[in-house]
Structure 1
Amino acid sequence: MTGRTANTVPQRPSTPQRPSTPLRRALGHELRRHRDLFAVYGTFMTVTLLCADLLDLRLGFVLILLAVRLPADLADPVLENGAQLRSALGISRADAVRARTVLISAGQLLLVLGTAGVILLSDWAPGTQHWSTIQVATSQNPGPTSPTLRDHLVDIGMFSGAIAWTHALIGGDAFRPGAGLTGRRAVSVYLGVCLLLGIVLSLSGMLAAELQLRSGADDDPYAHLRFSKDAAQAIALSLALGGGITALVLRCRRWVRRA
């Protein structure tokens, strides 16, 4: 009598799964819910970059408006929509607020990078300038010039800061019942922030020029203009970008505490 040995198939050792935190589950949940919207935004960004590279069409303002509208576009029309599903996934309301804020900030950053690509890929004729550009004549070239790389970077920093300030000012309304957050309101707040930053830029330039003239450190008028330009842009950029990011972080903590 011969025994039959059973053929056993060796099993692969199971790979341990990475621990899933509530915040990670909340981010995955938000991405699944809004993947169609992000696909549309990605299409817009691709088209605008192609238009800037191939046709020299500067459509970066479209991406800026999309970034400004993003908190309103991702807001739930009814705050309790998906509450049962979040509860089943073990996602608290505070984690949902964190995930939504992180997702909006990441989407805005990508749209800002797309706008920066449009600016850097476009050809700028002499005399054209950004809203944050301060033209300064020099003894070698007293006429209008094209924006420099520094002017581009200052403009990118200025509208990025304005987007961050807008998100900080209106983002909490997406989690508050009856607030009525809309894309039109977000764009209006953004334009108001840009107006205030433009005033700050002008006042900073005038103040720096006055201080430079009173000090009498340099009799070259072009040096006075360059100093006032640099000082104005440094002050406005720090208030716009640095202040906007700081305000957004502080406001996000407040939204989480209220959740």
Structure 2
Amino acid sequence: MTPIRQAMSMELRLSSGRFSLAVALCALTLVLAATITDALVAALTIWGALAWYRYGRPETVERAELRATLGLSRADGVRGRVALIGLETVMLLGTAVLAAPVSSATGLGTSVTPGPTFVLSGPPGLSGALIALAGTLHAGLVLVLTGIAVGGDCLTRRPARSMALLSLVVYLGAGLLSSVLIGLPLAAVELSNGAVMTYLIVCAGVAVLLAVALLVLRRRVRAWIRRLDSGVAARAMSAA
């Protein structure tokens, strides 16, 4: 089995155009945040939700053969693309966090708070950095849930165009549901002028949910790889 870093490096070579587009989107977001508005932050998580489709769609016979010439199996390709999607997701979320201070530093102010579907002001005295952290953790949770739902269909076979729509539906559905589950206790804290510590506890809960979702995604990736390996073994036995 190819080491994960090598697999990701190879996949980066094969998908350099798609990854470069994400880098360009992040750079454009920061430039606009410094000069005009930070509104493009809202598009970053949507772009991240489409990552599984975007990196799975170009999978063709020719690309599979090219991957084989590089010494990568289909399972290595899945592992490499999962790692690459993870790297891109961190980059997108990091850009969303940076856009707010960049916009504030230039005197434009912030119009968008990092997060998939909801914005909460937080109790009085709560720093904007903590609110941004909570929104970013929430966005990360929703993106991981999206990957759990659609990742297997996008990476183990060439996804149909309908998977792009399904990815957005799952993303929005997970965002709305988690917003209700997370937003209700936070709203209660705000209305009751609760202590900042209560807000921190709820935010820590989001971080725990994100960690659990990452573990589930890891198990799902292993299941996808086992499915590919079993398919290869079955074809080898039938050929023999």
Which of the five TM-score ranges fits, normalised by the shorter chain? Answer: 0.7 to 0.9
Q: How do 1:9-88 residues align onto structure 2 when only pairs under 5 Å count?
A: 21=2, 23=4, 26-76=7-57, 80-88=61-69
SS of the aligned residue for 2:79 comes to: helix
Q: Which residue of 1 aligns with 2:203?
A: 233
Count of residues in correspondence between the two structures: 219
Displacement after TM superposition at 1:82 (Å): 2.4
Q: Is the 8 A contact 2:60 2:158 kept in 1?
A: no
Q: Which residue of 2 aligns with 1:189?
A: 170
Task: Kindly name which structure, 1 or 2, has the bigger radius of gyration based on alpha carbons.
Answer: 1
Residues 1:120 and 1:93: Cα distance change in structure 2 (over 3 Å) = same
1:136 corresponds, among 123, 138, 144, to 123
Q: Deviations over 1:160-199 (max 9, x none)?
A: 2211221122111123447636322212211111111112
Q: Which residue of 1 aligns with 2:132?
A: 152
Q: Which residue of 2 aligns with 1:243?
A: 212
2:56 maps to a residue whose letter is A
Q: Deviations over 1:63-101 (max 9, x none)?
A: 222111111011145554423233333222211111111
Displacement after TM superposition at 1:56 (Å): 3.4
Q: Which runs of 4+ in 1 moved over 6 A?
A: 124-130
Displacement after TM superposition at 1:159 (Å): 0.7
Q: Is the 8 A contact 1:128 1:147 kept in 2?
A: no
2:212 maps to a residue whose letter is G
Q: Which residue of 1 aligns with 2:232?
A: none
The structure richer in helix per residue is 2
Q: Is the 8 A contact 2:122 2:131 kept in 1?
A: no
Displacement after TM superposition at 1:154 (Å): 0.8
Over aligned residues, Cα RMSD in angstroms?
3.2
Q: Is the 8 A contact 2:156 2:224 kept in 1?
A: no
Structure 1: tracts of 5 or more residues without a match: 1-19, 139-145, 210-220
Q: Deviations over 1:210-234 (max 9, x none)?
A: xxxxxxxxxxx63x46565444333
SS of the aligned residue for 1:57 comes to: coil
Q: Deviations over 1:124-145 (max 9, x none)?
A: 869986724254358xxxxxxx
Residues 1:205 and 1:51: Cα distance change in structure 2 (over 3 Å) = closer
CA distance in 1, matches of 2:184, 2:92: 30
SS of the aligned residue for 2:71 comes to: coil
SS of the aligned residue for 1:196 comes to: helix
Residues 1:179 and 1:256: Cα distance change in structure 2 (over 3 Å) = same
Residues 1:236 and 1:94: Cα distance change in structure 2 (over 3 Å) = same
Question: Which region of structure 1 is more displaced relative to structure 2, 67-76 or 77-86?
Answer: 77-86
Q: Is the 8 A contact 2:4 2:80 kept in 1?
A: yes
Normalized against structure 2, the TM-score is what?
A: 0.76
SS of the aligned residue for 1:182 comes to: helix
SS of the aligned residue for 2:56 comes to: coil
Q: Which residue of 2 aligns with 1:101?
A: 82
Q: Is the 8 A contact 2:49 2:168 kept in 1?
A: yes
